[in-house]
Structure 1
Amino acid sequence: MSSSSGSGNHSYDIGTKSGLTQTYNTPVFKAERVERAMGSSSAGQYPVSHSGVRVTDAQGQQWLIHKGGGYGISSQTVVVDAKHMSDKWKVTETKDFQGSKNISDFVNTGGPKYNVILNNCHSASHRMMNQK
């Protein structure tokens, strides 16, 4: 399930509970830490940027997993079909997970709670990329 903005309007790409379960159980083969400038800023680095992790499954389907205040309902770490990503996102790191982790592992590592100082999108995306 997903929301690509913190506006409180949730746009769901996965229409059923079984579809959600299937997506969360999908093995991740490639993960890319991605970052984009926030708002009209073109700085692209802390503190005016947003980051997440784009994951790719065995069939090439891509999902953006990212965190933000007000992004989700039960968790502030959400999964969005990567087709919603603009061309403003830039890859900053790539890792091959060889199917050893599922999308749910990335969501759980991102964590349900958001704190702009101690548990924000940047700390979550770094934790996701550093999973063993």
Structure 2
Amino acid sequence: MCSSRRLVCALVLTLLPVSVEAWSEGNLSGAELTRLYNSPVHRAERMKQPLGSSSVILGPLSHSGVRVTLGDDSMWLIHKGADFGISSQTVVTSARNMGSDWRVVKEGNFLGRKTVGDFVATGGSNYNFLFDNCHWASIRMMNQ
């Protein structure tokens, strides 16, 4: 059962183009993207930021995502939103692009048991404002 689930996740990940900012200049593709997806997550933090120009984080009137730290100490933000990606609404970007208004709301130590690809798959490919938004996706990612 577990191996078939991994196989399905791997298949889904190969079919879902995801926007990923490169370590230095552009988008990752090919071997670099595969390497990132297969990278073990050592630490994860559920993060929230205010929407728009507001400085208040208030429940659904905010945006949330999960910042993951990999074994090489690089940090990536995995988050979901309407029209964020092409085939998947859960995307991965460099955490260096995060503004100072993001706040940690929960921390988790994953000890390399999950990969970036596991987090993206758990976030889900579809977006629904009420039932499958950034908040539900980030909660699922932290609880996997």
Determine the C-alpha separation between the residues in 1 that align with 2:118 and 2:68.
11
The CA deviation at 1:13 is 3.1
Q: Tell me the residue number matched to 1:7.
A: none
Residue segments in structure 2 that go unaligned for 5+ positions in a row: 1-17
> Larger radius of gyration, structure 1 or 2?
2
Q: Aligned to 1:107, what secondary structure does the other structure show?
A: helix
Alignment check: 8 A CA contact 1:3 1:71 kept: no
**Residues 62/3 of structure 1: CA separation in 2 closer, same or farther (3 Å cut):** closer
Post-superposition, which runs of at least 4 consecutive aligned residues in structure 1 deviate over 6 A? none
Normalised by the size of structure 1, how large is the TM-score?
0.89
How many residues were matched structurally? 124
Is residue 2:60 matched to residue 1:60? no
Determine the C-alpha separation between the residues in 1 that align with 2:85 and 2:124.
11
RMSD (Å), alpha carbons: 1.6
Aligned residue identity for 1:92? V
Q: Aligned to 1:100, what secondary structure does the other structure show?
A: strand
Determine the C-alpha separation between the residues in 2 that align with 1:98 and 1:79.
20
Q: Tell me the residue number matched to 1:111.
A: 124
Per-residue CA deviation, residues 11-65 of structure 1 (Å, 9 max, x unaligned), is: 9531x21111110000000000000001012220222100000000111000000
Aligned residue identity for 1:2? S
Determine the C-alpha separation between the residues in 1 that align with 2:33 and 2:60.
32
Determine the C-alpha separation between the residues in 1 that align with 2:41 and 2:79.
15
Q: Percent identity?
A: 50
Q: Tell me the residue number matched to 1:51.
A: 64
Aligned residue identity for 2:124? G
Determine the C-alpha separation between the residues in 2 that align with 1:126 and 1:47.
13
**Residues 60/3 of structure 1: CA separation in 2 closer, same or farther (3 Å cut):** closer
**Residues 69/12 of structure 1: CA separation in 2 closer, same or farther (3 Å cut):** farther
Q: Tell me the residue number matched to 1:13.
A: 27
Name the structure where helix makes up a greater proportion of residues: 2
Per-residue CA deviation, residues 50-93 of structure 1 (Å, 9 max, x unaligned), is: 00000001110000000000000110000001111011100000
Q: Aligned to 1:122, what secondary structure does the other structure show?
A: helix
Determine the C-alpha separation between the residues in 2 that align with 1:112 and 1:93.
23
